[in-house]
Structure 1
Amino acid sequence: MKWLEMSTENCTVQRTLDLVGEKWTLLILRDAFNGVRRFDDFRHHVGVSEAVLAGRLRKLVAAEILYTVPYQEQGSRTRHEYRLTRKGRDLWPVLVALRQWGETYVADPEGPVLDIRHSACGAPVHVVVECSGEHGALTPVEVTVLPGPAARRHT
């Protein structure tokens, strides 16, 4: 079965984009990875409206990408911080890959906004697609894509 013969209705890329493929969602996740936890901090830093932010946070919590932790400042009502779950933390390579692509093709002429380095050795961090064998980094022309067990014919 060739790609154009396959249905895309159960495509995992499409399912992933349904959860995190919207601009504001990715920016919220970017900030969560950089330590932002509170609603007002997300709103001010990302520049998103309260209604959109509330909706995106609800969706990320419902999808178990974020979870909430209650906190209360003296004299105020109980509020919630938003923290990444393991499922959420597993999106980190996706954001690093987006950043890496952006630094290559749409970077600020002054250089990167963030310099991501390995804490132990100080080397820059980057994302690669690699073979689980001994072949290291791969390009798209070096791989074969075959239908998986969930592949269905396009009708």
Structure 2
Amino acid sequence: MNLILWRHAEAEDHAASDLARQLTPRGRKQAQGIAKWLKVRIDDDALLLASPATRTIQTVEAFGDRYRVVDELAPGARAQAVLAAAGWPDGIAETVVVIGHQPTLGHVAALLMTGVEAEWSIKKSGIWWFQSRSRNGDGQTVLRAVMNPDLL
């Protein structure tokens, strides 16, 4: 299974509610750049799961309109809720892209890399790509890629 954590792009600081915050023009550009980078690297049957926040939906829409909104990925979600939504490590699909928030995605990345949740930061519109595999009967987590919009 491939699990790709994609933090939403830059969003406005204030709105009627936290869930209503929209991407800034810079954020739209960030999302488009990462979506373009990702499209050529993942299969068409990848499953995209987005938080119900407007900024995550606008981020994933740069990729296309094939996504599901998952309430369990809302701001403040627990790392285990993200992993459960994606079906990690076996997967509900071969490739699952989770579009979400900090600090949750940083907690997930730390948990996958070290076995312990920690305060790791994922840059706005950045992705961390993990793969689960089995070697000699042992489950392993592999970090396949980290990409940030300023590297494009």
TM-score band (shorter)?
under 0.3
TM-score using structure 1 length: 0.24
Higher normalized helix content (fraction of residues): 1
Which structure's relative contact order is higher, taking Cα pairs within 8 Å and 6+ residues apart? Answer: 2
TM-score using structure 2 length: 0.24
Q: Bigger radius of gyration, 1 or 2?
A: 1
